[in-house]
Amino acid sequence: MAQQTLPTSDYGKSSKQLIEFVGQLRALGAHIDLELPRIVVIGNQSAGKSSLVEAISGIKIRWEYDESGKDNKRLEEVKEVQFGPLLTDKSKVEPMLRRAQAAVLNPHILEEKFVEMGEEK
């Protein structure tokens, strides 16, 4: 018998269905009237946070960043901003995540420039 992984287990399958359902509710605007769940993964560097999210979502989300210019300033206010169009194709998520990260790391450049970048950049 083949060993089951999280995505192929009964738990993984039902979790995926619930996550997709919450996504459908959010797409219909239900998040305006209801507090829909979101995933928050907290842990030390290299603790496996990205691997956990990848296992749940089936989407590769490796982060690249340079801490050399890090100034350790805390943001007074954190806000959610839509970055680019709604994606339904998993293969387009990783490149868009990379562009969103580049936009966050380069606040002096308009975010539209990053959204419009080709996948090769």
Each residue of 27-86: pLDDT tens digit?
888 878 888 777 777 788 788 888 888 887 777 776 665 555 555 566 677 677 788 898
- The pLDDT assigned to 46 comes to 80
Percent of the chain with pLDDT over 90: 0
- The pLDDT assigned to 104 comes to 83
Q: What mean pLDDT comes out for the span 93-108?
A: 86
> Rounded to two decimals, what is the model's pTM?
0.47
- The pLDDT assigned to 91 comes to 86
**DSSP class per residue in 47-113:** SSHHHHHHHHH----------TT---PPPS-------SSPP--GGGHHHHHHHHHHHHH-TTS-HHH
Q: Say if CB 53 and CB 41 are below 8 A apart.
A: yes
Q: Residue 12 — pLDDT band, cuts 50, 70, 90?
A: confident
